[in-house]
Copies of this chain bind each other. A is one copy, B any other.
């Protein structure tokens, strides 16, 4: 069962990185291999180039970039299928730099291989003050040749798993026995960090489980991190770990020079029935005096070190930018080769179109981003029975997902709870997988069981979303879990927003409503509208937050048009202006409503009732509308109070007080209705608080702009005293 290896397999994936061992490699590197050797010249030229690029503004990450040069030649010159002049060619191999701080390495190859945007002038913008530069400190998705933005470690390798899944899914959907329309490969470099970060480990486990043999992870194993040698903090047997996760493992012992062997390993990885992990030993900052040391990682070398490096490599000591014509020539075949790749693929697609016109039509529409008319699948009617908003969200989304193959839905092991199952659902999985329950696997499946790996779910979804062209909606990934668990994936959700990737996060079970709460009608307008917005939002992730419990509805008083304005008046006492505006938020609106009833009947107050589902939509309305809804500008000086079953943060802009939870408190393990009562969310408990506040408001004890929190339970104050001394 031993996997094929390009060299003898090492037991623990480590090598000798002692000072003396590194010194030997450095000497061999400088003395051995002369400039007539083509690869040696290219390697030395590009290493010196990186040193120069970091030198000009005394910043950047030279060490890893210099150490990975031989990997770079193997990938960009010999192995990857891409077209520098057609960087969004859809069947291109995808390259992900999960160790994003090494980006100058990627920028150098983008420049050398002829990407139009990456002029030499641009290359030199690395660490400069150019705000329009294409060489930021980590690679950014907006720029040619960069597939995803990386930097926060572990995200990139998860994105790579997502890209590999997307390719597998498209291939399984559109390829025919005679035509491999989608046949690209995903290459991902990782450093030590991506193999330590939890999100990377989760994604790696899934990549192995799904047998994504179109994925190759290349480990730049230089055994150095910021704190020093990796073995200070990590002594695991990485090769054994990767095999346990279902990877083919290949060792490269001299990753500094042995381009041919790296190429052989890369080619081997394309023929495996598993994803491949190539463990490439390199030396950080090779050629420099600080080779093999942590200090080579994140700072420019000393000027005298760059000089000695140039001298040892046979370059002029005091000259920058020494790139000979022969080095330029070495990469000159890439542009024409890329053009041939694209032309051949275009021919293939044309022939496919003749043989399979229907598939071709759908495929082209999918790639070009003409999403099928999904709006027709939003149900016009719903069953007339109790419905929680999590169920409502499913009722709206699922028929769309069923009929529109652009959607690919995932859950972090909460299928029974998040209501995202759709008719004729097929799980995404390897066809070789025959699980002990459930159907056999298929890569054409569009329901993803992520297991209990929320962070990887979101980071992988970013990768899936990044597969197509910007805004094309070739894939619209959906994730789902309890809202609380999205805190595990905050970093990935942020990265999706930063990259403006369309991922829809269906977050159920918001706040303390963990029990059933006496539902009456269906809260479907909000669900339909939020789904509508999320699908139209091509350049941003969306989170749809829904309740576990059923929510009373107010037929006739609410409408999709009103909801679309973010907030609206739902009930106002006739006659004179009201005494108070009461704002209800999402699942708490019904509490605000019953409180309004009580204030009217028992406390003889006039109440304006406002439903406020979305601050963002409300902010986009004209100020006149905003004032009309909130009525805080009139001379009557009516206060607004918001009811929110969470902390009040964010409501200070719209209200003068909040019935809310203390910032010092978490929830309580109780059935839903009991939890609401425990925290004071019943009309009986709220009404006196409102009246008392109104008194203090009229007496000038609270002024507009001074926001009050009307909290029912403050027990933590006592415990918390230590922080208040």
Contacts and interface: CB of A to CB of B under 8 A. Distances in A.
A35 interface: no
Nearest to A484: B152
Interface in A652-690: 652-653, 656, 666, 668-671, 674, 678
A548 to B, nearest CB: 13
A348 interface: no
A433 interface: yes
A656 B652 CA distance: 11
A605 interface: no
A453 B197 contact: yes
Interface stretch (A110-118, A318-326, A699-707): A699-707
A198 B455 contact: yes
B653 A723 contact: no
Interface string A193-213: 100111111100110110000
A485 to B, nearest CB: 7
Nearest to A299: B416
A451 B678 contact: no
B488 A228 contact: no
Interface in A373-425: 411, 413-417
A669 B136 contact: yes
A704 B707 contact: no
Residue from the set A192, A197, A623, A633 with the largest chain B CB neighbour count within 10 Å: A197
A208 B237 CA distance: 11
A622 interface: no
Given A437-B229, A533-B723, A650-B649, A138 B244 contact: no
Interface in A678-725: 678, 701, 703-707, 716, 719-725
B540 A720 contact: yes
Copies of this chain present: 2
A648 B448 CA distance: 37
A184 interface: no
Interface string A97-141: 000000000000000000000000000000101010100111010
Interface stretch (A77-85, A490-498, A583-591): A490-498
A245 interface: yes
Dominant secondary structure of chain A at its interface with chain B: loop
B452 A231 contact: no
Contacts of A704: 704-705
Contacts of A129: 670-671, 674
A557 interface: no
Given A243-B240, A652-B652, A451 B196 contact: yes
Given A131-B670, A226-B417, A416-B226, A198 B199 contact: yes
A636 to B, nearest CB: 14
A536 interface: yes
A192 B452 contact: yes
A416 B244 contact: no
Interface string A415-458: 11100000000010100010111100000000001111111100
A449 to B, nearest CB: 4
A225 B451 contact: yes
12 contacts: A59-B671, A138-B669, A154-B452, A196-B451, A208-B235, A209-B236, A231-B433, A232-B429, A232-B437, A237-B244, A620-B724, A656-B705
Given A231-B435, A704-B705, 9 more contacts: A129-B670, A153-B452, A198-B488, A209-B236, A227-B415, A237-B243, A490-B490, A533-B723, A656-B705
